[in-house]
């Protein structure tokens, strides 16, 4: 499939049948057209006589691939920290956990949010030191 040898506009999206890829036209280098992958990457040389404007479907597929490449390159999120918005649960069978949970209930009954928070901090510290493998 040969198109006319009219010059392409920089930035236009063209289909290269030799590589079965869509690329952004950058410039000419000797007898070749320089294309860059949609979304960035290493340029490649293509025969300008075989290039044609990319179809809407080809443009969309190339854009989706670029977004997926970027998403795959993002660093993974760190493991979530302890959820401090919920009070820690006492470990069944642990006397210290049961005693701290009792103190927390007393603080709640007295509407003493400060004491309740203090007990939650103590319970979390205890659980980190005694119940984590």
- For residue 14, pLDDT beyond 80: yes
The model's pTM is: 0.51
Q: How far apart are CA 55 and CA 59, in angstroms?
A: 6
Angle at 19 between CA 13 and CA 22, to 5 degrees: 15
Would you list the domain boundaries of the chain? 13-72, 95-130
Q: What is the pLDDT of residues 21-70, one digit of tens each?
A: 999 999 998 999 999 999 888 999 999 999 999 999 999 999 998 888 88
Strands 21-29 and 44-46: unpaired
């Amino acid at each position: 499939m040969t198109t006319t040898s009219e010059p392409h506009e920089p930035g236009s999206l063209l289909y290269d049948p030799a590589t079965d890829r869509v690329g952004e036209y950058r410039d000419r280098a000797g007898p070749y057209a320089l294309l860059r992958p949609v979304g960035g990457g290493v340029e490649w040389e293509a025969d300008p006589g075989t290039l044609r404007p990319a179809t809407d479907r080809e443009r969309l597929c190339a854009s989706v691939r670029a977004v997926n490449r970027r998403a795959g390159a993002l660093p993974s999120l760190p493991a979530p920290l302890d959820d401090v918005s919920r009070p820690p649960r006492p470990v069944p069978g642990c006397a210290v956990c049961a005693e701290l949970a009792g103190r927390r209930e007393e603080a709640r009954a007295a509407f003493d949010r400060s004491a309740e928070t203090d007990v939650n901090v103590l319970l979390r510290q205890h659980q980190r030191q005694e119940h984590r493998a």
